[in-house]
Chains A and B, each alone.
Chain A
Amino acid sequence: MPHLKDEELGKKDDDHRLPPARSRFLPQLSKFPRPRRLIAAFIGLVLVYQFFKHMPTDLRPARERYDPRFRQQNPLPPPPTSPQSPVVPQIDIPSDSGMQGEKNKGGLYDGKIKLYELASSLPTDKHPENVLSGAVLFAGSDLHCITDMLPLACRMAREQQNHVHLALFGKEEVSVDGIKQVNGIVESDCPIVWHDSRPDYAAQSTDDRVARSVKGGLRFIETYIAPEVIITGRKDWEDPFFFGGLERHLWEVGTPHIALPTTSRDLMWMASIESTALKVWNDIRVDMVVHASQSAGSLVRLLRSLDAADYLGFTPKLTIELPRK
């Protein structure tokens, strides 16, 4: 009886108990003179078999796999949606904490982040520190925002004052080529560098996972391109998770950020401004001083016109100096 023999073996060697499924082979093994070594070798073979059986089929380019800088987490086969294991909501751990495994949150994937496409568009070497890159990064997640920024980005690239990059983040599933096609972008007419920094399983991911992928992607772009300034759409037009990740990145790195106050077609003049000037976009202050005369009529006319003006999202200070009398 194989079962009896199996039990005897188990008594003989408690430390190397085999999986029950393999037990029927053991009688043969026990005939050999040095069972311990052979069992160890067998376990080794099983492990090798298991490795090849579960080897990931969605292999990325070698550079991504072997360069740890491009690999946010260790490769693991992620089951994107597995609602069969309802898990108590957990505190999210940022991607850079080294924590393994994935979590489920309302059926959405919250596991390790992999940016498959980003590495292919980044330069091979890190940008040297303390050297101005002359680069301007347009970044976006919402397709409408990206579509809105494209004319400005293309125009800026054509003006040749700055190196213009455009990076896609977030959950949209449209390919870069698709976006180009929809917007009628011709490569020769729009010499910008495109980056696809969307994570794997983007559409099925939790907002927090995507926010972490935004922050992670921006960090790579910072390391390899070091943009002088990041231009995005308006905060209330963009996806909240995009701004969540962006703001965490800006807080850490301190790159100046311009959230376009209005549609980019009204701001096309920005295309001719060089990156060193765009950097102080948010710092420029204009204080207005009016020396009022004794008649109030003209002052009212001035104040009405000042009130009707557009200040690009800023609030200038107005001082009215009244006459002495």
Chain B
Amino acid sequence: MDPVEASLRTVESFYPLNPGVSHLLILSPDTEVAPSFYHYLKYSILAYKQSARTSTSQLIGISLELPSTKPTTKEDYSLSPFPEAKSGHIPSFLWQAPNSNAALYFGDKWAEFHSFLSHRLDSPEPKASIPSSEKLVSTRYPSFMEYLLEMMQAKGYYILYPSFPGTGASSLVTVHQDLSQTPEEFIQDTKNGVDENKDADDVEMMPPGKTPNQASTIMTLFDTFDLGLPNIETLPLLSFDGEELTQEKLTQQTKEYSQQFRTLHGGCSSDQEGAGYSPSDLFCLEG
């Protein structure tokens, strides 16, 4: 199975019946969830997706995991210390990084990813698959992450990550490394030695897998933190590389990335903007 095929298979494993309220939770087999994880998900969905006052169209999902490393192919894996929470609420931050271990994706955004991927893999020039030299996401993660990252960067999307496991409170999930396996689409690469050393390094960096918080509710969290969720605009925002962004900086980066993407993968030329294509369209394909 090649990465393109694997990505299609993943994206097609779910389509929302009602995009407004039906959502997808992707779990990796290495994950172990806390008994209360669903309470946290429901709370976050209600607070950040279904509330008229706090919802934002740029949030595409909610991660249960606070990764200990960045999912990047670059040398620098470690995540810098998280920005201090500005309120006494449950600490969270926004990160322009996809997650495949334990993350919920909103139905409407997953539907958008369906459409993005079908256009993206249709695009004639250059090839739909991403050469490993250009990959941003490590091959330890499934191939759909690479395309999802493209969409997130082209649209300025981000995911809500919990940072409370980093502040001592118990976690909602544990991602174990003991039985971890490379996704099958990349197994061939690993055997050829492309990723072997990298994987060995990663395992050493991982902390031992602790059992997630066994409390049956999330109320223990509120012994530590205030009830209520902070306004999403006040949360710290990180780029894929872990660099702290302002909303203006994100808008600027998104604009640059999407222009580049339109010419590279979208089949657009610079003169097409007047011909019925708006700058927000990432693809200038017939039909």
Contact = CB atoms under 8 A, between A and B. Distances in A.
A321 B29 contact: no
Contact of A324 (B28, B38, B51, B184): B184
A223 interface: no
A92 interface: no
B192 to A, nearest CB: 18
Given A269-B227, A272-B47, A291-B142, A324 B36 contact: no
A292 interface: yes
A310 interface: yes
Interface stretch (A42-50, A105-113, A192-200, A274-282): A274-282
Contact of A310 (B13, B38, B53, B104): B38
A287 B23 contact: yes
Interface residues of B, number: 55
Interface string B213-250: 00011110010000111000000000000000000000
A269 B43 contact: yes
Interface string A276-299: 111111011111111111110111
Given A286-B41, A287-B14, A294-B184, A273 B217 contact: no
A234 to B, nearest CB: 16
Given A284-B45, A293-B184, A271 B227 contact: yes
A159 B1 contact: no
Contacts of B266: none
A285 B18 CA distance: 9
A272 B183 CA distance: 40
Contacts of B216: 266, 310
B38 A286 contact: yes
Interface in B27-46: 27-39, 41-43, 45-46
A287 B16 CA distance: 9
Interface stretch (A119-127, A178-186, A213-221, A301-309): A301-309
Given A266-B217, A276-B51, A323-B184, A308 B35 contact: yes
Nearest to A273: B46
Contacts, number: 155
A311 B38 contact: yes
B179 interface: yes
Contacts of B33: 302, 305-306, 309
A272 B9 contact: no
Nearest to A265: B219
A289 B29 contact: no
A272 B227 contact: yes
Contacts of A295: 29, 179, 181
A274 B51 contact: yes
Contacts of B36: 309-310
Sorting the interface of chain A by its residue count into under 10, 10 to 19, 20 to 34 or 35 or more gives 35 or more
B46 A278 contact: yes
A63 to B, nearest CB: 36
B9 A321 contact: yes
Name, among A159, A287, A306, the residue most crowded by chain B CB atoms within 10 Å (CB to CB): A287
Given A272-B228, A293-B29, A319 B14 contact: yes
Contacts of A276: 50-52
B23 A268 contact: no
A286 B104 contact: yes
B136 interface: no
B17 A285 contact: yes
Interface of B: 1, 9-10, 13-14, 17-18, 20-39, 41-43, 45-47, 50-53, 104, 142, 176, 178-181, 183-184, 212, 216-219, 222, 227-229
Given A284-B22, A289-B27, 15 more contacts: A159-B228, A268-B227, A274-B51, A276-B50, A284-B46, A284-B50, A285-B18, A285-B21, A289-B13, A289-B14, A305-B35, A308-B35, A310-B38, A314-B38, A316-B25
Interface of A: 155, 159, 265-269, 271-274, 276-281, 283-295, 297-299, 301-302, 305-306, 308-312, 314, 316, 319, 321, 323-325
A-B pairs, top 4 by smallest CB distance, nearest first, are: A277-B50, A285-B22, A272-B228, A298-B179
